[in-house]
With several copies, the nearest count.
Chain A
Amino acid sequence: MNISKSMVGDIAVIKLNGRLDLETSKTLKGLTKELMADNHNKMIFDLTDVDFINSSGLGTLVSILRDVNSKKGNLELCSLAPYIQEIFEITHLSSIFRIYENEEEALSSFAVTENKTE
């Protein structure tokens, strides 16, 4: 699992690369803990380059989602390959995550949210 992070305004865009399983998802959990300790609670996970995810990876994503929600933050997912998306569906997780086609759409969802709260 390679992870690269960039900030777009106050939104952390996190590109994941490789496998998201029991071993590798620890790194991701660590990174998001750091972000939240710094009060960064808006995140996009770009899964374009994730070629494998299983329930351990999903479990980590749910755990991060719960942390983010409890801080009134946002976690958006984008760019899931169809076979990755299917694993979300089999496990009924497509209903609790917001999943976008691409990074742009995920980013603009924040704009909409902010407009709404204005």
Chain B
Amino acid sequence: MEKHPLHYASLELNNSGLCIKITDDILKAFLELTSLDDREKYRLRVAVSEIVTNGYFHGNKQNAQKRMFFSCNVFNNRIEISVEDEGDGFNDDEVEEKYGAAGEYATGGRGLKIVEKVADRVKCGKTDNGRFRVSLLKYVNAEPVEAIGQSIESY
């Protein structure tokens, strides 16, 4: 896979509820540069908004002193998006514990499910400078499966 994106955006924002709309506006603008159809564009926007909402709410705990980092890379055959917050991250067990039993009438716990459904690959983890990063990869044109996950792996 080629290494240099055709189009690249990098943002740093004060943590606030506005981050959700602003990153969505920017993603929406960038998606116009891709050949994804309208339905796929919309699904991806929702998935990314889930990750940003989580960063703002769970990661940065709505603290206005914290920062939010967002990047979007458009390649010929894929889009890579990453969201970083200044929180501690989470593990799957916590999440299972929180929502495992709540069922369909739970008022939360749907964000990550949407992300998993929409993304071709998701990766979470701490960055070198102690932030929590969620990266999402979405293919724009069908690609051989063995190629998946090479570039997003290496941060």
Interface residues of A (CB under 8 A from B): 19, 21-23, 52-56, 58-60, 62-63, 65-66, 82-83, 86-87, 90-93, 95-96
Contact = CB atoms under 8 A, between A and B. Distances in A.
A21 B117 contact: no
B20 interface: yes
A49 to B, nearest CB: 15
Interface of B: 17-18, 20-21, 24, 38-39, 42-43, 45-46, 49-50, 53, 56-57, 104-108, 110-111, 113-114, 117-118
Contact of B17 (A23, A87, A92): A23
Given A23-B21, A96-B104, 4 more contacts: A83-B38, A83-B39, A92-B104, A96-B105
Q: Nearest 9 pairs between A and B by C-beta?
A: A23-B17, A55-B110, A83-B42, A55-B111, A59-B107, A91-B110, A63-B107, A54-B49, A54-B46
Nearest to B108: A59
Contacts of B105: 62, 65-66, 96
Nearest to A83: B42
B53 A86 contact: no
A90 B117 contact: yes
A56 B53 CA distance: 8
A22 B58 CA distance: 12
Contacts of B117: 90
Contact of B56 (A22, A55, A92): A22
A8 to B, nearest CB: 27
A65 B43 CA distance: 24
A21 B38 contact: no
Residue among B17, B38, B107 with max Cβ neighbours from chain A (10 Å): B107
Contacts of B42: 83, 86
A83 B53 CA distance: 20
Contact of B20 (A23, A58, A60, A96): A23
A55 B24 CA distance: 14
Contacts of B45: 52
A85 to B, nearest CB: 11
Contacts of A90: 113-114, 117-118
